[in-house]
Copies of this chain bind each other. A is one copy, B any other.
Amino acid sequence: MNREKLYSLIKLKRSFLCIGLDTDIEKIPEHLKKSDDPVFEFNKAIIDFTRDYAIAYKLNLAFYERCGSSGWLSFEKTIDYLRGIGNIFTIADAKRGDIGNSASQYAKAFFDNLGFDAITVNPYMGYDAVAPFLEYKDKITILLALTSNEGSSDFQMQLCGKKYLYEVVLTRSAGWGSSDQIMYVVGGTKSGVLTKARHLVPDCFFLVPGIGAQGGDLKSVCEKGMNDKCGLIVNASRSIIYCSSERDFAEQARKAAFELQQQMETELSNRKL
């Protein structure tokens, strides 16, 4: 799936919501823990109840690797399930990055074998750590630019001449592939930088984490980050999947996703998208 198809999907569902399946085995409702694969059952229920309002699902590998090879099995079952549904953009939130030979293996794992549409990649090791992902022309490589955590100031905000490092990452990597293929993580909590990032890479999509359920945050992110093809995928994880720890967890997740979708529809309509 490339940028054009992603935009079609956004128009179809009137949403640019990504739901982060950061499924923590310790936070799964009790009644699911008796099943053979509680993590997959949880994911399946969340997907079934939210898929009308979300265009994308992001699977954070950390939570699956925590459970070893059986966690990887839950991970594989979840992506298989998502691929069977259609009209969903799938992201492996893996934040991988390694020299060419190893990066090729990661690209094969997530693109060829598992069929993800996109993967998050850490840019620290430079071009040859990213190139093997960009060889897949119909897939999207999502580079970390400015993340939403406090520690992002340690290195991403280092001044390199007159530019911050994250700006150097944006401008340099933008030459590595087309805006159809490259997307960036730009932290939503730092909305000042969204304006700057949008100026530097006008066409690329941004994956924005760190947005709570508050409309105010979303409104500000849209003002600063949207372009004429939406250009934003906004992620929410815990604020959706852990709304309730009871039997109604999936219904409550649906309500939370619906609320965000409604706000997103307003933002899209306001801009005649």
Contact = CB atoms under 8 A, between A and B. Distances in A.
B165 A160 contact: yes
Contact of A102 (B22, B75, B99, B123): B22
Interface string A102-121: 11011011100110000000
Interface in A81-137: 95-103, 105-106, 108-110, 113-114, 122-130
Interface in A128-166: 128-130, 144, 147-156, 158-161, 165
Contacts of A109: 62, 65-68
A250 to B, nearest CB: 22
A69 B63 contact: no
A97 B95 contact: yes
Contacts of A156: 124-126
Contacts of A72: 65, 68-69, 72
A76 B169 CA distance: 35
A15 interface: no
A243 interface: no
**Size band of the interface chain A makes with B:** 35 or more
Contact of A62 (B96, B128, B159): B96
Given A125-B149, A126-B149, A108 B154 contact: no
B69 A69 contact: yes
Interface string A1-40: 0000000000000000000001010000000000000000
B151 A122 contact: no
Contact of A149 (B69, B100, B114, B158): B100
Nearest to A187: B99
A66 B108 contact: yes
A96 B110 CA distance: 16
A174 interface: no
Smallest CB-CB A-B distances: 10 pairs: A126-B151, A126-B154, A62-B105, A69-B72, A62-B102, A128-B151, A127-B151, A124-B124, A66-B105, A158-B160
Given A129-B151, A158-B168, 10 more contacts: A62-B96, A66-B106, A66-B109, A69-B75, A95-B96, A124-B144, A124-B156, A155-B168, A158-B160, A159-B160
